[in-house]
Amino acid sequence: MEDEAAALPAEVVAAAESVFEPQDDAAERSVLAQMNSLYRRDLSMATTFVVALVIVLPFIVIALWPVMPGAQTRALLMAAVLVLLVYNVTSMLYLVRNYRRDKDFIYRRDVAHLRELRAARRLEKRGGTPA
């Protein structure tokens, strides 16, 4: 099997390597800023999901309430809504905490791939072939 790095142009490989081995403090600050931006985006997506869930669940309860045959079924509906809400909010909190704790491990690779992609597109626009 052919080595994947050998198939990529040097400019594309250098873009990724600059993320893992920054040449100076400015390059590291740039990588950290991009990592923080990705983390903030993920945090806002998780928050948006939880807010949407909190908004949608009451409408589901209101829509299903009249068709529930008895008090026990309605109690089961409310319990299911509560379990769903608690489970999803807890999982989003855990996800965000995990992302914050392992930010360097998770997002440094994302930044490297984004920079590889940007370098490959730039090379392609100039008429080169990124492989």
Token output for 56: 């949608």
Which has the minimum average pLDDT: 16-25, 38-47, 86-95, 98-107? 16-25
- pLDDT of 123: 85
- pLDDT of 127: 77
pTM above 0.85, yes or no: no
Smallest CA-to-CA distance from 119 within 28, 25, 12, 14 is with 12
Local confidence band at 75 (pLDDT 50, 70, 90 cut-offs): very high
- pLDDT of 21: 81
- pLDDT of 18: 77
The rounded mean pLDDT for the chain is 87
Span 10-35, average pLDDT: 84
List of residues 6+ apart from 115 with CB closer than 8 A = 15, 16, 18, 19
